Amino acid sequence: MSDMSAQVGIVGAGPAGLLLSHLLHRQGIGSVVLEIRSRSYLEQRVRAGVLEQGTVDLLNDCGLGVRMRREGLIHHGVELRFSGRSHRIDFGELTGGRGITVYGQQEVVKDLLRAREAAGSLPRFEVADVSVADLTTERPVIRFTHGGADHELRCDVIAGCDGFHGICRPSVPDGALTEFDRTYPFGWLGILAEVAPSTDELIYARHERGFALHSMRSPTLSRFYLQCEPDADPADWPDERIWDELRVRLDLDLAEGPIVDKGVTPMRSYVVEPMQYGRLYLAGDAAHIVPPTGAKGLNLAVADVRVLATALGRFFTAGDDAGLRAYSETCLRRVWRAEHFSWWMTSMLHRFPDDQGFEQKLQLSQLEYVTSSAAAAASLAENYVGLP
């Protein structure tokens, strides 16, 4: 058994855990990050890729923006396609010049890991048997094994940044947290293809055969999604079937290229309240998930961590715990707005298997409305680019 200590023990080295560690470091607060996966796994894992202006501003302000400014693609609108029509939602015009930056989550993770490395404070990768205890005391503990040895990390505060399937949230005693949950009767098949995007901006398409999305990562790398069965096996989706389906649903003359990544994501909305128990604070996917239709997951994780880092700064430098006491309530206001927006975008654009036609009529009416009313379009736009 080997003992260590840190002011903040962080479970999980996704965007939430890494960014928290970085923001704490900048305030002179020490943290140790524990991660079950390897560094190369984290850097290769393909995830979402849309950054709100507020996320971009934060990354720039804390010194993480150099490559993002060079390689990120700034967009001032998205396209909605339905009933053989295409309509652009103009973010610039509707939100006073705001936009989004298309930059892959795994690139954000790479930039964060490089910054942690430069600070001499990389996570401990490939740890196992992680557990947390003594959460309602002033010295909670994280236990784990690494390289075959048992370790114990004593901290003042634990940040549960271990994603939706992590161990922090389930370590809270029954009854202390309330869960709110919705699963959707479909998933997304996501692919990455080595081909120039066939569009300048993202295309969200509603089609009788199901939803499709054309996104991108760079001038030579395209990202696509297709609504599929929630338990679809990527093996049932040979490349040809994917291109055929994309072409039909997007109603687009698509350029094809080698598919270099293929995976299925289930669709779910989930929130736990409060996002805290004793000295354990949950952030990012550990506390809430959204269906990816609104592109909010990463942005919510960043917003949580910004609130938590500020609160911890006050706590460690001035002994003031007001920010920590308000943490959950502060975050949940933004979380529920994003939950609603993501559910709404999902409901408007997907085919629901049991629908007898009523939902489809509502979807089309809603799409007509957001593409003809400036007020409705502005509501979509301000949520998409991110509320202040």
Stretch that binds ligand APR, among 162-170, 171-179, 219-227, 373-381 (CB under 6 A): 162-170
37 binds, among ligand PHB, ligand APR, none (CB under 5 to 8 A by kind): ligand APR
Active site residue 225: no
Distance CA 228, CA 250 (A): 15
Q: In this structure, what is the dihedral angle of CA atoms 44, 128, 160, 133, given to the nearest 10 degrees? A: 180
E strands present in the chain: 2-11, 31-34, 50-52, 73-75, 77-82, 85-90, 100-102, 128-133, 141-146, 149-160, 178-193, 203-205, 212-218, 221-228, 259-273, 276-277, 280-282, 288-289
Task: Tell me if 11 contacts ligand APR by CB under 6 A.
Answer: yes
Distance CA 326, CA 336 (A): 16
Structure-token match 């300048």, residue found: 200
Which residue from 16, 32, 59, 78 is in contact with ligand APR, where contact means CB under 6 A?
A: 16
Least gap, CB of 39 to ligand APR (angstroms):
10
Least gap, CB of 41 to ligand APR (angstroms):
8
Helices (H) and strands (E) in the chain, counts: 11, 18
Task: Tell me if 380 contacts ligand APR by CB under 6 A.
Answer: no
Stretch that binds ligand APR, among 159-167, 219-227, 238-246, 343-351 (CB under 6 A): 159-167
| CA distances in angstroms from 193 to 140, 206, 212, listed in the order given | 45, 22, 15
* Residue closer to ligand PHB, measured from CB, 155 or 303: 303
Q: Are 388 and 245 in contact (CB under 8 A)?
A: no
Active site residue 296: yes
Nearest to 216 by CA among 41, 74, 56, 70: 74
* CB atoms closer than 10 angstroms to residue 224: 26
Strand partners of residue 215? 223
Site string for ligand APR, 115-134 (x = CB under 6 A): ---------------x----
Active site residue 384: yes
* Residue closer to ligand APR, measured from CB, 78 or 287: 287
Active site residue 75: yes
Task: Tell me if 339 contacts ligand APR by CB under 6 A.
Answer: no
Site for ligand APR in 203-222 (CB under 6 A): none
Active site residue 369: no
Q: Which residue among 22, 25, 296, 350 is the active-site one?
A: 296
Distance CA 293, CA 268 (A): 11
Site for ligand APR in 267-296 (CB under 6 A): 284-286
38's CB contacts (< 8 A; 6+ apart) are 125, 126
163 binds, among ligand APR, ligand PHB, none (CB under 5 to 8 A by kind): ligand APR
* Residue closer to ligand PHB, measured from CB, 12 or 292: 292
Least gap, CB of 167 to ligand APR (angstroms):
4
189 SS3 class: strand
* Residue closer to ligand PHB, measured from CB, 25 or 223: 223
* Residue closer to ligand APR, measured from CB, 102 or 161: 161
Q: Which residue among 207, 281, 292, 327 is the active-site one?
A: 292
Distance CA 221, CA 46 (A): 12
254's CB contacts (< 8 A; 6+ apart) are 198, 214, 243, 246, 247
Judged by the rule CB under 6 A, the positions of this chain that interact with ligand APR are 11-17, 34-37, 42, 47-48, 105, 130, 161-163, 166-167, 284-286, 297-298, 301
Judged by the rule CB under 6 A, the positions of this chain that interact with ligand PHB are 48-50, 202, 215, 223, 292-293, 295
